[in-house]
Amino acid sequence: MQNGVAEQINRMIQERATTMLEHSGLKLEFWAEALQTTIHLINLSPSKAIRFEVPQALWSGKEPTYGRLHIFGC
């Protein structure tokens, strides 16, 4: 294992995307959309690694809005 942290993060992203696809009932054809949504949600979520700040807020300097979030596949 060369980079355990990166492999763990990749596995977490894969598991979340797979879970979203299963719960939505969508086919594997929507895998790319599930991955994109997973990354977007991670960037909108507080992270322990950065003192529970929101990554998108740190990158943009603006607090994110959550009003347009919907259940994946709706």
Per-residue pLDDT of the chain (74 residues; tens, 9 = 90+): 578 888 999 999 999 999 999 999 999 999 999 999 999 999 999 999 999 999 999 999 999 999 999 999 98
Longest dimension (CA), the chain: 40
- The answer to whether the beta carbons of residues 45 and 66 sit under 8 Å apart is no
Report the predicted TM-score, pTM, of the whole model to 2 decimal places: 0.85
Residue 38, Cβ density class (10 Å: 0-12 exposed, 13-18 middle, ≥19 buried): buried
pLDDT recorded at residue 40: 95
CA-closest candidate to residue 68, choices 41, 47, 31, 36? 41
pLDDT recorded at residue 5: 84
Beta bridge partners of 47: 53
